[in-house]
Structure 1
Amino acid sequence: MRQRWGSAAIVALGVTLGLATVAHGAVTTSPGLAKADDASESKVENGSEAKPVNGAVTKSANAAESKPVDGGGTMPDNGGGQATWTGKDAASYWTPKRMAAAIAPAHGRPQPRHSVVPPEAEALATNPGAASKLSPVARHFDGIASVGVLFSVDGNSKAHHCTASVVHSPRGNLILTAGHCNPGSRAAFVPQYTSGAATQPYGVWAIDAVYDYPNRGTTGAGADLDFAFATVLPDDQGRAIEDVTGGNTLATTPGYQNDVTVVGYPSVRNDPQDRAVRCDTRTTRLSGTRQLRMDCGGFYGGTSGSPWLTDFDEGTGTGRIVGLIGGLNGGGPKGPHSDRTSYSPYFGPEILALYNRATQDG
């Protein structure tokens, strides 16, 4: 039977660690929870869902010998047979040319015809009164510095496959995404990703370690644990990412009904414009679960990990994170029009314990 928790008071996490009172050992949960087998049903880019990491932590510096990557080259090696992965490496690997190649459609495959705007939204042009009958629709915009995309090098060098956001932390080096988005041992985070740009506005940052629950999943009780933190290495100037982009404050979910701003990046195969989308909407409870639901069109595959922000400040581009796209089925219902409804795990003691672990180790 799924363990349930009452609604917690808002606990904003500042620069100290004392707010997360769950014991360090609580990060490990009971084995045997189910996990979705079909990544295409989630809001992660098709086929890129990673397996849970052993012990809840993966250090990219511990990766085995260098592996061949795009074009037959190898990742940097420290001379002792151990692969290295630094911010400079990430920026050098994910060049504008390589990013463009990664998001290009396969040979002979036509560009998707659908865009981020659901068809019924077009009815508003001729029938403005229909607006009250429709769910909100995400709109393209230029993005915000504290939210970006994940690129992975391990396996196939694919398009950006998930969304992540910078979270305020003592060292200023933490990002948050969905647990099923585990990016692998060689991955990069690109804040306010700009498709086709010669240089990214806030650079390309190497991910160092990933922290998640080994038993997280996208079905059953594991769906309530579908979130993960990752530490990001400093850039070549020694700066922490939060010092460059700013960060959102992690908070426990105050209840099932919240006014939120949701920012994400649909994958290019789902949204040919390859731009950030934003929606301002209100959450409700996903019936029969300990999860939140929000209705807004346009959150296709690639938006897993998108933060749900309350008290969003237009000036700083930051707010308090009380949820993210993840949870049941990888963040949304199955079947047609799944982009119009998104889910989020309820943020309670479990995510605070994981945050505590990530900030102590990282």
Structure 2
Amino acid sequence: MLGGLLPAATPWQAPRAGSPAGALTESLSAPASASSSGAGSAPSSASSPASPPAEVVEHAARQRPGYWTPERMARATPLGLLADTVDALLAPSAVPRKARQTHRPSARSAGARWPSAGKVARTTGRVFLTIDKTDFVCSATTVPSASRDLVVTAGHCLMDPLLGWAENWTFVPGYDAGGKPYGVYTARRMFVPSAWSKRGDDSYDVGMAALNTAGGRHVADAVGVQRIAFTSQRGRQVYAFGYPADPPYDGGELVYCSGKPKPDPHKQTMDHGLRCDMTAGSSGGPWLTGFDPRTGEGTVTSVSSFKYGDDMKTMYGPHFGPPIRALYTKASRA
């Protein structure tokens, strides 16, 4: 181990609520490494393909009215991908001083500010949530549903397998440097696969939230939706979006990565990895295939989930197969 990083075969994320502050700890969602043993070890996701679970766990969201003041939003901690000390662990050349700005979208981006507008700049948003009395931030995007109120994100942005469900879960579409141009939408019901809620299996680190209206308006009517698919061919060109908030990013702007993802080389999950420098706060942001940079429209086929400790440059996202279809089927009817 180097500088507190976990072995290559173990995914890791930022310390969750209840973890020692600033420590580099194994994510509650991480599959066990080859050397893990004993009671309490997380089951390896390598066994997931043999019996993909389809059960869905549902929860009625709890909100404290007026909880998210501008000050609380500014203090919320990025949840999910990288520890606070990541800058010291990366080679200086690997850490950009700020999100690069380009004049037009690129098919090969490792983490630049989204230079265009289009639908993706409206449908993608920042998420604010509380787990175990600690405030966090994630990312999410709108998808179609009968209620016109559904967003998809990472499972760990909705519930922690040990600490329980998030509270005060709030989605701000089109978030821009503190601006909320399309309103603020609170969650009313939340959904995750049982494989996530019971054992924190990264192959199923996906969640969905049905939202309340804001000012009498449904979120889909306000910003539109991105398509979603569950049988997409793997390895296709994708554009991944999110609001990374750990350095060198500050969570105030929409950032994207793009390229062709590859299978998990450690075979610990069914996820695919994309070259991407985005940091914590981007968890739950959408991966769009068939994406048109001119219109900002595409099809959600994954979300940002985790990074391995020996490879800070690759973001992993779960495959949207039958279990995620079952999740969507239930959530879209809420």
TM range, smaller chain: 0.5 to 0.7
Cα separation, partners in 2 of 1:59 and 1:100, compared to 1, 3 Å: same
How many angstroms apart in 1 are the aligned matches of 2:154 and 2:251? 23
What residue ranges of structure 1 are gaps of 5+ in the alignment? 1-38, 64-74, 76-88, 105-109, 123-134
How many angstroms apart in 2 are the aligned matches of 1:307 and 1:218? 24
Report deviation, 1:316.
4.2
Aligned to 2:16: 47
1:97 aligns with 2:77: no
Cα separation, partners in 2 of 1:169 and 1:40, compared to 1, 3 Å: same
How many angstroms apart in 2 are the aligned matches of 1:191 and 1:59? 22
1:196 aligns with 2:178: yes
Give 1:146's match in structure 2, choosing from 115, 123, 133.
123
Report deviation, 1:113.
6.6
- Paired residue secondary structure (1:210): strand
Aligned to 2:203: 224
TM-score under structure 1 length normalisation: 0.63
* Cα deviations by residue, 1:148-182 (Å, 9 ceiling, x for unpaired): 1211145435242x111111112211110111111
TM-score under structure 2 length normalisation: 0.68
The 5-angstrom pairing of residues 185-264 of structure 1 reads 185-197=167-179, 200-216=180-196, 222-236=201-215, 238-264=216-242
One-letter identity of the residue aligned with 2:303 = L
Aligned to 1:320: 299
8 Å CA contact 1:309–1:320 kept in 2: the answer is yes
Cα separation, partners in 2 of 1:112 and 1:350, compared to 1, 3 Å: closer
One-letter identity of the residue aligned with 1:212 = V
8 Å CA contact 1:60–1:209 kept in 2: the answer is yes
8 Å CA contact 2:110–2:257 kept in 1: the answer is yes
Report deviation, 1:226.
1.2
Cα separation, partners in 2 of 1:118 and 1:310, compared to 1, 3 Å: farther
Report deviation, 1:301.
1.4
1:354 aligns with 2:323: no
How many angstroms apart in 1 are the aligned matches of 2:92 and 2:150? 34
One-letter identity of the residue aligned with 1:148 = G
- Paired residue secondary structure (2:260): strand
The 5-angstrom pairing of residues 64-213 of structure 1 reads 75=64, 89=65, 92-102=66-76, 119-120=93-94, 136-141=109-114, 144-153=121-130, 155-160=132-137, 162-182=138-158, 184-197=166-179, 200-213=180-193
8 Å CA contact 1:217–1:223 kept in 2: the answer is no
Runs of 4 or more consecutive aligned structure 1 residues displaced over 4 Å after TM superposition: 48-52, 110-114, 217-220
How many angstroms apart in 1 are the aligned matches of 2:328 and 2:291? 21
* Cα deviations by residue, 1:289-313 (Å, 9 ceiling, x for unpaired): 42212112x2211211121101223
How many angstroms apart in 2 are the aligned matches of 1:294 and 1:202? 30
How many angstroms apart in 1 are the aligned matches of 2:243 and 2:260? 20
8 Å CA contact 1:188–1:206 kept in 2: the answer is yes
Of the two, which has the highest radius of gyration? 1
One-letter identity of the residue aligned with 2:168 = R
* Cα deviations by residue, 1:243-270 (Å, 9 ceiling, x for unpaired): 1111111102422211111101112455
By percentage of residues, which structure has more helix?
A: 1
Cα separation, partners in 2 of 1:343 and 1:154, compared to 1, 3 Å: closer
* Cα deviations by residue, 1:24-48 (Å, 9 ceiling, x for unpaired): xxxxxxxxxxxxxxx9922xx5424
Cα separation, partners in 2 of 1:179 and 1:270, compared to 1, 3 Å: farther
8 Å CA contact 1:268–1:274 kept in 2: the answer is no
8 Å CA contact 1:217–1:225 kept in 2: the answer is no
Aligned to 1:265: 243
How many angstroms apart in 1 are the aligned matches of 2:325 and 2:317? 16
- Paired residue secondary structure (1:256): coil
8 Å CA contact 1:178–1:305 kept in 2: the answer is yes
One-letter identity of the residue aligned with 1:47 = R
Report deviation, 1:121.
7.7
8 Å CA contact 2:76–2:128 kept in 1: the answer is no
- Paired residue secondary structure (1:332): strand
- Paired residue secondary structure (2:122): coil
Report deviation, 1:95.
3.1
Aligned to 1:69: none
Cα separation, partners in 2 of 1:120 and 1:301, compared to 1, 3 Å: closer
Aligned to 1:58: 59
Report deviation, 1:194.
1.9
By percentage of residues, which structure has more strand?
A: 2
Cα separation, partners in 2 of 1:196 and 1:267, compared to 1, 3 Å: same
The 5-angstrom pairing of residues 324-343 of structure 1 reads 324-326=303-305, 331-335=306-310, 337-338=311-312, 340-343=313-316
